[in-house]
Structure 1
Amino acid sequence: MTDFDGYQDQLQSDAQFLCSDHRLDTELLDRLVLQLNRIYPQILSDKEAHRFRTLSVPTKVRLAELLKHLHGRGEDACHEFYRALHIHAEEVYSYLPTRVKRREMADTKPTNNVAVHQERSGLNQRGPTFFLSCFCFVVGIAILYYYGEAETLRCTGGFLHCSAERLSKNARCVLTSYVEVGMQK
C-alpha cells in the first residue's frame, strides 16, 4: 500500500519535517505534550512531560527528543502523537511528507468509482427519468381511482389500454382489470 508500514516508520520519516517546520512552536509543543501526558500517561509520564516542557531548552531540541522518545516507546505512542498533532495542528498534520505521499499515491491509483457507484445504486440502473415516469403514472392512477367516475373511465379506456402495453405483466393486468371494471359501471 505505502512505503510506510506503521506509525513508527512514518514518525521517523516525518521527524525532519516536524523539527524544521516553523508552525510547530513552543505553545503547540506544550499542547501536544500535555495531551500525551494527561490522556495517555503510560506513553508520557509526568516527569517526562516536565522534561519536554522545560523552556530553558530550545523548542526544536525538545521536539527532536520527544520524537525520539515516542519512537522508542513503540507503535501506539507514535499513533497517539499523530492523533494529537491532527487535533491540535491540522495544518501541520496535512502537510506531513507521509500524508502528502499517501494523497499522491491515492490520486495516481486507478479508481473503480464506476463499480462503486453501480454497487451503491443497484436499484437505480434505469435512471431518474424512469422513476419520475413511474411516479407520474402512479399519481395518474390514483387520480383516476379517487376522482374518476364511470364517464371518465369510458372516455379514457382506450388510452389506458395503450398505456398498459409498456408495463410489466402484473401491472398491465391490474390496470386493464381496473379499466374493465370501471367501464362496466
Structure 2
Amino acid sequence: MGESFHEHLRRDSRFLKSDLRLDTELVDKLILQLNRIYPQVLTDKEATKFRDLDVPTCIRLAELLSHLQEKGEEACQEFYRALHLHMEEVYFSLPTRLRHRESGDPVTRPTDRYVLNNRSPLFFLSCFSVAVGVALLYYYGESREVSGSSSALGLAALGLGRKVREVLIWYTEDGK
C-alpha cells in the first residue's frame, strides 16, 4: 500500500508554505471548503481562527497545515481534495504528486494535455516556407496571364536550393 495522506502532507508542507500561488483568497477558499463540507475536520471556531486577516497568510497556512496533520489521515485527505478542487496547478505540482508521476503513475500534468506536437520550430518554419512558396507560385501564375510579368518570381529563386531554383526559373522562362 502507498503512503498515507498524512505522510504526503508532511512532505508537501514545505512546498505549500513557500508557493506564492497560495494567496489569501485561495487559503480562505480551502478553509471554507473544509469547514462547510467537512465540519468534523475544521470546526467553526477553528475556521474563524484560520481566517483571521490580521495574521499573515503564510502563518495562517502553516498553522492550518500543522493543525490538519494533528487531526489525522481523514483531515489530510480532505485538504488534498479541497486543494485539487480549487487549485489544480498547485495540486499537480506538489512534490509527492511529481514523485508519483515519475515512478510510473498514469497521471498527466494539465499542461501535457494541450501539447499539439513535439516538433521543433525549424519544422514549423519549413512548413510555412513551403506554404509561402506555393502561394507565390499560384499568385504569380495567375498574375502572369494578366500582366505578363514574372520577374519577381525569378528573383525569389535566388535564395532557394538548386532544385527549387531550377523549377522556379523554368516556370518564369516558360511564360516568356
TM-score by length of 2: 0.58
User: Which residue of structure 2 lines up, in the alignment, with residue 105 of structure 1?
Assistant: 103
Query: After superposition, where does 1:2-81 map in structure 2 within 5 Å?
Result: 5-81=3-79
Amino acid at match of 1:75: E
Computing the radius of gyration from Cα coordinates, the structure with the larger value is 1
Task: Provide the C-alpha distance between the structure 1 equivalents of 2:12 and 2:59, rounded to a whole number of angstroms.
Answer: 15
Query: After superposition, where does 1:84-103 map in structure 2 within 5 Å?
Result: 84-103=82-101
Amino acid at match of 1:15: S
Matched length = 106
RMSD: 1.4
List alignment gaps of at least 5 residues for structure 2: 106-176
The alignment-based identity, stated in percent, is 63
Task: Provide the C-alpha distance between the structure 2 equivalents of 1:106 and 1:27, rounded to a whole number of angstroms.
Answer: 34
Structure 1 stretches of 4+ moved >4 Å: none
Task: Provide the C-alpha distance between the structure 1 equivalents of 2:7 and 2:38, rounded to a whole number of angstroms.
Answer: 21
Query: After superposition, where does 1:106-185 map in structure 2 within 5 Å?
Result: 106=104
Q: Secondary structure at the match of 2:7?
A: helix
**Deviation of the 1:40 alpha carbon:** 0.6
TM-score by length of 1: 0.56
Deviations 1:125-165 (A, max 9, x none): xxxxxxxxxxxxxxxxxxxxxxxxxxxxxxxxxxxxxxxxx
Amino acid at match of 2:47: A
Amino acid at match of 1:7: F
**Deviation of the 1:52 alpha carbon:** 0.4
**Deviation of the 1:53 alpha carbon:** 0.4
Task: Provide the C-alpha distance between the structure 1 equivalents of 2:22 and 2:104, rounded to a whole number of angstroms.
Answer: 27
Task: Provide the C-alpha distance between the structure 1 equivalents of 2:61 and 2:44, rounded to a whole number of angstroms.
Answer: 17
Deviations 1:92-131 (A, max 9, x none): 0000000000000016xxxxxxxxxxxxxxxxxxxxxxxx
Q: Secondary structure at the match of 1:71?
A: helix
Task: Provide the C-alpha distance between the structure 2 equivalents of 1:16 and 1:58, rounded to a whole number of angstroms.
Answer: 17
List alignment gaps of at least 5 residues for structure 1: 108-185
User: Which residue of structure 2 lines up, in the alignment, with residue 168 of structure 1?
Assistant: none
Task: Provide the C-alpha distance between the structure 2 equivalents of 1:85 and 1:60, rounded to a whole number of angstroms.
Answer: 16
